């Protein structure tokens, strides 16, 4: 089996995920069977219970995993869906080892991090890797963190058993006062990695500017790698260009050579190039407001932003995306905050803060006939807004925010009551039946589609007739659960209970976003 391990040094948020995803794409473009794995050293079982402020969005896989957002990058660059098992957390492996110990699997032994935990981690890598020509494993965090040690130790041991390549992603700061790129932090970080027993085969240097030859040779010398294995990954505006930056310096060739894989397989990046050409040569712009509440962190809406960008590229439209704080709408009114936008998207979310602002945004878009898409919570609030302002039920709400309303138009399904909160939402891909003659049917041009979910509350069917009689169309359903609402007297007033943004890919944009961008 062949593995590439990607570690990080000096700083977090260096773009290891994008580096891993880009390498995945480059290797896959040579017709190799490649998969990407993300290791997260935190003790949560998955990203589902974490706050977007700390961790960015929770990415949902088709098989119902609540994963790290890097899995989203991987899916977008590889252009394929990944299973949830490709996101391994410390929480999962510790849970598993303790469970095995209780079962008696280690009877007589003292259960230890080395070898028991590291063996379990290695088994997981091998289980995934055995079906592929190459398995890339990104180890989250920064070398030197306490939490990541068992994973780095497992990665080191893998080198004794399998054919492995180690990439270290590091940071080379530019110090303005001396006008120089500084290599010392990278040197120290490589030393730290060596202390753990891993000698990197390549160093990917993140920096504001391209590396100078001097910096490159210094890093090569101190890290004991050939100069061609010091890769300059300087800042670019468009992350989808990064595969080309790595390819132009031959990082993928280096990996194939070391791992003994036939390098005569040529990269075919033609469709990716075409995508980039479209992305970088738009013919018009569209102003898009994403109304949410985690607006300080762009990563909280990562997939959504990318889905808009993909659709923008394919329609030669440059989306100018603003994250709009729904609390600002509460304070200053939708008229002031949202005027001038071509498209309004009400994002998913949890909790009471900013809810009334989102409802106001919906009213504004509905009355002024501005294209609006509500996603998950956004769709639920479109239902609430309709109930309040069209049906005249002023107290209408979702049970999530008001348990005593007489009009709980969004409610908790009986099977969701009293469940623990981790991993118990309605999760992952489910088949949705679309109603012929509706806008959503016309967008997908199909009777049924599979889309990903992550929610607990649902449209309350008790009020279905009232909504339909007042002009709202229920145009998609899954076994009695409402999935899509729309209003035919509006250019685009669509709410979806699912998350279309998770399945959009650069080369296969999602039809809902395509429609929004081409309008």
Nearest to 72 by CA among 423, 434, 506: 506
- DSSP E strands: which ranges in 336-463? 343-346, 372-375, 397-398, 408-412, 426-434, 448-455, 457-459
Catalytic residue flag (residue 164) = no
Measured from the CB atom, is 175 or 421 closer to ligand GLN? 421
Burial zone of 104 (CB within 10 Å; 0-12 exposed, 13-18 middle, 19+ buried): exposed
Catalytic residue flag (residue 131) = no
| φ, ψ for residue 190, nearest 5 deg | -70, -40
Measured from the CB atom, is 255 or 412 closer to ligand GLN? 412
How many residues can be counted in the chain? Answer: 519
Measured from the CB atom, is 275 or 457 closer to ligand GLN? 457
How far apart are CB 485 and ligand GLN at their closest, in Å?
15
How far apart are CB 398 and ligand GLN at their closest, in Å?
7
Nearest to 75 by CA among 59, 89, 88: 59
Helix axes 149-161, 90-103, angle to 10 degrees: 80
Measured from the CB atom, is 259 or 347 closer to ligand GLN? 347
How far apart are CB 397 and ligand GLN at their closest, in Å?
12
Measured from the CB atom, is 324 or 376 closer to ligand GLN? 376
Its sign, for the CA torsion 230, 247, 163, 105, is positive
Measured from the CB atom, is 43 or 413 closer to ligand GLN? 413
Site residues (CB under 6 A) for ligand GLN?
348-350, 376-377, 400, 454-457
Give the residue at shortest CB distance from ligand GLN: 348
Measured from the CB atom, is 457 or 487 closer to ligand GLN? 457
Q: 284 by DSSP, 3-state: which?
A: strand
Nearest to 458 by CA among 514, 377, 364, 343: 377
Measured from the CB atom, is 200 or 348 closer to ligand GLN? 348
Tokens read off for 282: 């738009």
Candidates 66, 306, 360, 501; catalytic one: 501
How far apart are CB 123 and ligand GLN at their closest, in Å?
33
The Cβ of residue 197 has, within 10 Å, a number of other Cβ atoms equal to 13
d(CA 395, CA 406): 7
Q: 450 by DSSP, 3-state: which?
A: strand
Helix axes 355-367, 377-389, angle to 10 degrees: 70
How far apart are CB 72 and ligand GLN at their closest, in Å?
15
How far apart are CB 60 and ligand GLN at their closest, in Å?
9
Catalytic residue flag (residue 168) = no
How far apart are CB 413 and ligand GLN at their closest, in Å?
10
Strand partners, 8: 169
Torsion angle in degrees (nearest 10) through CA of 57, 294, 304, 475: 110
Tell me, rounded to whole angstroms, the distance of Cα 28 from its chain centroid.
Answer: 20
The secondary structure of residue 113, as a DSSP letter, is I
How far apart are CB 359 and ligand GLN at their closest, in Å?
14
Q: Considering just the CA atoms, what is the radius of gyration of the chain in Å?
A: 25
Candidates 376, 400, 411, 451; catalytic one: 376
| φ, ψ for residue 507, nearest 5 deg | -90, -5
**Residues forming the active site:** 376, 499, 501
């Amino acid at each position: 089996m062949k593995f590439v391990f990607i570690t990080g040094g000096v700083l977090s948020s260096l773009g290891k995920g994008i580096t891993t995803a880009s390498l995945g794409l480059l290797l896959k473009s040579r017709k190799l069977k490649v998969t990407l794995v993300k290791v997260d050293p935190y003790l949560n079982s998955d990203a589902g219970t974490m706050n977007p402020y700390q961790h960015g969005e929770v990415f949902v896989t088709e098989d119902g995993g609540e994963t790290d957002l890097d899995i989203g990058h991987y899916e977008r660059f590889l252009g394929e869906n990944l299973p949830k098992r490709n996101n391994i957390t410390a929480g999962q492996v510790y849970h598993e080892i303790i469970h095995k110990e209780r079962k008696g699997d280690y009877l007589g032994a003292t259960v230890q991090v080395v070898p028991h935990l590291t063996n379990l981690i290695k088994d997981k890598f091998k289980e995934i890797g055995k079906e592929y020509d190459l398995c890339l494993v990104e180890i989250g965090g920064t070398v030197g963190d306490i939490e990541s040690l068992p994973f780095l130790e497992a990665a080191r041991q893998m080198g004794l058993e399998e054919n492995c390549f180690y990439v270290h992603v590091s940071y080379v700061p530019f110090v303005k006062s001396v006008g120089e790129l500084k290599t010392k932090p990278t040197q120290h970080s490589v030393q730290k990695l060596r202390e753990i027993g891993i000698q990197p085969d390549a160093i990917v240097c993140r920096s504001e500017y391209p590396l100078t030859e001097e910096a490159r040779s210094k890093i090569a010398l101190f890290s004991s790698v050939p100069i061609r294995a010091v890769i300059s990954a300087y800042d670019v505006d468009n992350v989808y260009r990064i595969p080309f930056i790595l390819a132009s310096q031959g990082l993928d060739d280096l990996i194939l050579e070391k791992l003994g894989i036939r390098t005569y397989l040529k990269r075919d990046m033609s469709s990716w190039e075409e995508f980039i050409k479209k992305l970088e040569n738009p013919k018009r712009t569209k102003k898009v407001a994403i109304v949410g509440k985690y607006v300080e962190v762009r990563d909280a809406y990562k997939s959504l932003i990318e889905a808009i960008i993909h659709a923008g590229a394919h329609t030669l439209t440059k989306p100018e995306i603003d994250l709009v704080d729904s609390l600002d709408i509460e304070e200053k009114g939708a008229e002031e905050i949202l005027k001038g936008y071509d498209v309004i998207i009400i994002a998913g979310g949890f909790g009471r803060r900013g809810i009334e602002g989102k409802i106001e945004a919906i009213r504004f878009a509905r009355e002024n006939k501005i294209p609006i898409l509500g996603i998950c919570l956004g769709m639920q609030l479109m239902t609430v807004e309709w109930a309040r302002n069209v049906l005249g039920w002023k107290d209408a709400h979702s049970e999530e925010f008001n348990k005593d309303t007489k009009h709980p138009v969004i409610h908790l399904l009986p099977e969701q009551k009293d469940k623990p909160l981790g991993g118990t939402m309605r999760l992952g891909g489910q088949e949705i039946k679309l109603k012929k003659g509706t806008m959503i049917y016309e967008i997908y041009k199909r009777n049924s589609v599979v889309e990903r979910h992550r929610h607990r509350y649902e449209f309350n069917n008790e009020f279905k007739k009232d909504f339909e009689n007042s002009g709202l169309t229920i145009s998609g359903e899954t076994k009695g659960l409402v999935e899509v609402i729309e209003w035919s007297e509006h250019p685009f007033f669509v709410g979806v209970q699912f998350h279309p943004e998770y399945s959009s890919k650069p080369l296969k944009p999602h039809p809902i976003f395509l429609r929004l961008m081409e309008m």
